[in-house]
Amino acid sequence: MSAARDIEQQAAHWLVVREQPGWSADREVVLRAWLNESVAHKAAFWRLEAGWTAADRLAAMRGSEQRPAPLQWVSAPVWAIAASILLVCMAVLSLWHLRSGSADSSMIRVATGIGGRRQVALTDGSAVTINTASALRASFANGRRRVWLDRGEAFFEVAHDKRHPFVVFAGGRQVTVLGTKFSVRRDGDTVTVAVVEGRVRVEDSDTAMPERAAIITAGDVAIVRGRSMLLADRSEQRVQDALTWRRGVLTFDQVTLEQAAHEFNRYNSRQIRLGNAQAARLRIGGSFEATNVDAFTRLLHDAFGLTVITDHDGVTIKS
């Protein structure tokens, strides 16, 4: 059995076991550990999850036709059920792509709303986690691996392939890698690249200008605005802290309340407003649930005595 086939069967096994009534927090920890062992594990598991979701979508497209039956746990061995699910999910994914095909069938499009987060397995074996209010496109046609980050932020775990570089385009810049873990964030004309593992090259999309290229490695951050590029060594731990959004958490290290409010407002329709400059300059640190504005503002009130005024569309904070 090939390594890829073995991983797919393990992923199917986990998909089956996770849906059984006896699923526990301890098993969830073991599953997370297995997923974190490699990009291939994540890609296989997410692809099977997508296959089961696609089965529901196909049923909805058929209207009155019978929807896929929920998983029924019988006395058959778990591995037998997993093998069946593996075949079903692969077949459904193929049918889903045929029925939802567009003018460019090689293009993958993914978007999230405010507060949303998605994990997607790409066809080359890479994996991407898309942050709040983000949109990207990906194409793997003609042996090229290309992604366009149209807005927002995404974290990439790139499958190693030295013959086919993985290129992300964002705001007039391109980030080129062979195999690594990194994030790209786009705020208007500002592009921020943070590297967790490996190294990447950040340059103009116009490759005729090589003098504006830089190679950054684990723990480094590149912030690009217009023709300027700032390189900062923030340490691997600080880069990891900046990526806790993948767990639905925002981590701050002595940032101003103005900066923290800006981050919270990316994840919530209810916006945080600052009533005066004194409150805006206050420095805070800690980890907070990204979509829980009320808990965050209560902590500000309890810890600093700030005044919190709530209305129908947001919260105003004053010193």
Give the CATH number of domain 248-318: 3.55.50.30
**What is the per-residue pLDDT for 3?**
73
Pairing of strands 220-225, 190-197: antiparallel
Where in the chain are the domains? 3-99, 107-239, 248-318
CATH no., domain 107-239 = 2.60.120.1440
- Helix 25-36, helix 39-61: angle, nearest 10: 110
> Is 239 in contact with 221 (CB distance < 8 Å)?
yes
Residue 254, both tokens: 């002595």
Residue 123 is predicted with a pLDDT of 87
pLDDT tens series, the chain, 319 aa: 567 677 777 877 777 777 777 778 888 888 888 888 877 787 777 777 666 554 444 444 444 444 444 444 444 454 554 455 555 555 544 544 444 444 455 688 999 999 999 999 898 889 999 999 999 999 998 889 999 999 999 999 999 888 899 999 998 899 999 778 999 999 988 999 999 999 999 988 876 665 678 999 999 999 999 888 999 887 788 899 999 999 999 999 999 999 999 999 999 999 999 999 999 999 999 999 999 999 999 999 999 999 999 998 899 999 9
Looking at residue 234, its pLDDT comes to 74
- The answer to whether 116 and 271 have CB atoms below 8 angstroms apart is no
Dist CA 219 CA 235 (whole Å): 4
* DSSP conformation letters of 50-88: HHHHHHHHHHHHTTTSPPPPPP---SS-HHHHHHHHHHH
